[in-house]
Amino acid sequence: MTEQLDLFDSRWSRAPDRTETPLSVRESIKARRLTLRLLPPHTLELVVPRGTRPAKVQAFLAEHRRWIERARQEIASRHRAGSERLPSSIELAAVGQTWNVCYLHVRTTRPACRAIENALEVRTPDREFNGARALLRAWLVGQAKACLSPWLIREAESIGRRPKSVQIRLQRTRWGSCSGTGNISLNASLLFVEPSLVRYLLIHELCHLFSLNHSRRFWSAVEQFEPDHRALDRRLTEAWALVPLWVHEP
């Protein structure tokens, strides 16, 4: 269970300028440490373990102030560069694919996105290409189902635990999750990160089939299949910056 907290709550601290990229604070009973991360399309999040003293939160923010400033600058830069136009190409680092994208205004057709060799053709009946991002998001989820689901099953065979079902969807705050009934959900945005990080996430979720919480038993299972899990976990937290703006912006 998590709780969304207001950064301007007196228990935490006040941002120096409300016009900056907001820093949301989420209190979590599952978190083991204070964590900063970028969330698409342009949000900074601080995850706070339940019961953390406000003074410790303020000290953590002060210690990481330079990182926060750099992250805000990066978000502002990406927002200016990417929000005014649709992508001309899409790079799926996880599977080594690059897709060129072209947009066609065809008044007599329904909005559609189709793959032609290594290119995507997006057709809309209006000159502003309204709905094009929704078409690209639907295509992305389809690609993720084709690539990530079989990948998860291959990793499951090496681990010896198979999920009851696999779901693929777009999420803003989680790369993946595992339910108490053994259903694993994966974020289609994993296609934007490098293969080693995807594999770590798949192993992470599969190991929840041994233990649903982040207990010693769970991390012992993760370490058995991925000894470098600590470094990979940190890099995966930072990898939200790789998700393009069009994936989540309307």
Q: How far apart are CA 44 and CA 240, in angstroms?
A: 10
225 contacts 181 by C-beta, under 8 angstroms:
no
pLDDT tens by residue, 35-66 = 888 776 667 889 899 899 999 999 999 999 88
Question: What is the per-residue DSSP string for the chain?
Answer: -EEEE-TTSTTS---S-TTSPPEEEEEESS--S-EEEEETTTEEEEEEETT--HHHHHHHHHHTHHHHHHHHHHHHHHHHHHTTS--SEEEEGGGTEEEEEEEEE-TTS--EEEEETTEEEEEESSTT-TTHHHHHHHHHHHHHHHHHHHHHHHHHHHHT---SEEEEE--SS-SEEE-TTSEEEEEGGGGGS-HHHHHHHHHHHHHTTT-SS--HHHHHHHHHH-TTHHHHHHHHHHGGGGS-GGGT--
pTM across the whole model? 0.75
Whether the link from the prior residue into 41 is cis, omega within 30° of 0, is yes
| Mean pLDDT of the chain, nearest integer | 85
Number of CB atoms found within 10 A of residue 115's CB: 12
The model's confidence at residue 16, banded by pLDDT at 50, 70 and 90, is very low
pLDDT tens by residue, 173-215 = 899 999 999 999 999 999 999 999 999 999 999 999 999 988 9
pLDDT tens by residue, 100-140 = 999 998 887 788 999 998 899 999 888 778 889 999 999 99
107 contacts 153 by C-beta, under 8 angstroms:
no
Bridge partners of residue 28, in order along the sequence: 2, 49
Strand order through the sheet with 119-124: 89-92, 97-105, 119-124, 112-116
Query: In this predicted structure, which of 37-51, 74-88, 145-159 has the lowest mean pLDDT?
Result: 74-88
Q: How far apart are CA 250 and CA 246, in angstroms?
A: 8
Number of CB atoms found within 10 A of residue 14's CB: 9
Which amino acid, residue 184? I
Determine how β-strand 119-124 pairs with β-strand 176-178.
unpaired
The residue that leads in pLDDT, 157 or 125, is 157
CA-based radius of gyration for the chain:
20
